[in-house]
Amino acid sequence: MTRVSIVVPVLNEEATVHRAVSRLCRDFPDCELIVVDGGSTDATVELAAHHATVITAERGRARQMNEGARLAAGDILWFVHADTAVDPAALGQLRDALADPAVAGGGLTLRFDRRSPGLDYLAWTSNARARRLHHIFGDQAMFVRRTVFDALGGFPDLAIMEDLEMSRRLHRRGRLCLLPATSTASSRRLTAHGTWRMIAFMQYLKLLYFAGVDPEAIRARYTAGPRLSRGRGPAAPRSGRT
């Protein structure tokens, strides 16, 4: 059977990491589970160590995922966020998809942990984009064939948009599949400033990226959050969907 390694990048996730890794252990017991900490100052490492191999890496989601992949033993690398719940049916679908050598990787069908017109719209458009434009984001639990991942040199070392850029590079190497199994993402970061405002803000950030703006500048703009008035609004949470 094809070996699968699950890599979970974390940073100060004590509120979610225990539930996340215990659920992954329960639902995918034959998968290797590696949690990559980027320098947490809370109890993240201690909580994760009860259920997973925990390693440390330089802070930055791309660098953390690359370090986890470097130490992983699997033929398939599966990157899961700590605040995302993965449908147990996903593993069988993932293996079936990658039985086709033309498939380089893919992701899961996105949904959110609550319903609203804005969240439903974002999930629908994200899944449509994944099918038609082959853009897979981190909260869709991206999976990659190991040989392809290594040939690409892993995730690009970007301050933000590493998942978008990785999916673009993967699509040049093979087909990307969007599995019917769901990835249920937390909506807390989207609703902090208002879902519609955040949707518009994230599209703006992507336009900056496609226009060639330095990813470090985009990350700083993301951290500042959407501007609610002429001044700067409250800072956005550290991470989220871009």
185-196 pLDDT per residue, tens: 999 989 988 999
Q: Round the average pLDDT of the chain to a whole number and report it.
A: 93
- pTM for this entry: 0.91
Question: In the structure, what pLDDT confidence band is assigned to residue 1 with cuts at 50, 70 and 90?
Answer: confident
CATH of the domain at 31: 3.90.550.10
| Cα distance between residue 80 and residue 143, in whole Å | 9
Asked if residue 74 belongs to a domain, the reply is: yes
Residue 226, pLDDT score? 86
CA distances from 135 to 83, 130, 158, 191 (A): 20, 5, 16, 23
Asked if residue 230 belongs to a domain, the reply is: no
- The whole domain housing 14 covers 4-189
Asked if residue 34 belongs to a domain, the reply is: yes
Q: Looking at the predicted structure, is the pLDDT value of residue 76 above 70? A: yes
Residue 239, pLDDT score? 41
- Of the CA atoms within 13 Å of residue 35, those in its CB half-sphere come to 29
Asked if residue 215 belongs to a domain, the reply is: no
φ/ψ of residue 33, rounded to 5: -125, 120
Cα dihedral 194, 200, 203, 208 sign: negative
* Residue predicted with more confidence, 229 or 136: 136
The number of folded domains in the chain is 1
Asked if residue 143 belongs to a domain, the reply is: yes
Q: Looking at the predicted structure, is the pLDDT value of residue 126 above 60? A: yes
Asked if residue 234 belongs to a domain, the reply is: no
Asked if residue 175 belongs to a domain, the reply is: yes
Question: In the structure, what pLDDT confidence band is assigned to residue 75 with cuts at 50, 70 and 90?
Answer: very high
Asked if residue 82 belongs to a domain, the reply is: yes
**Residue 167 in contact with residue 161, Cβ under 8 Å?**
no
Q: Looking at the predicted structure, is the pLDDT value of residue 137 above 90? A: yes
Residue 73, pLDDT score? 97
φ/ψ of residue 81, rounded to 5: -75, 150
Residue 231, pLDDT score? 42
Question: In the structure, what pLDDT confidence band is assigned to residue 90 with cuts at 50, 70 and 90?
Answer: very high
Residue 76 Rama label (left phi>0; alpha psi -120 to 50; beta) = beta
> Is beta strand 175-185 parallel, antiparallel or unpaired with respect to 84-86?
antiparallel
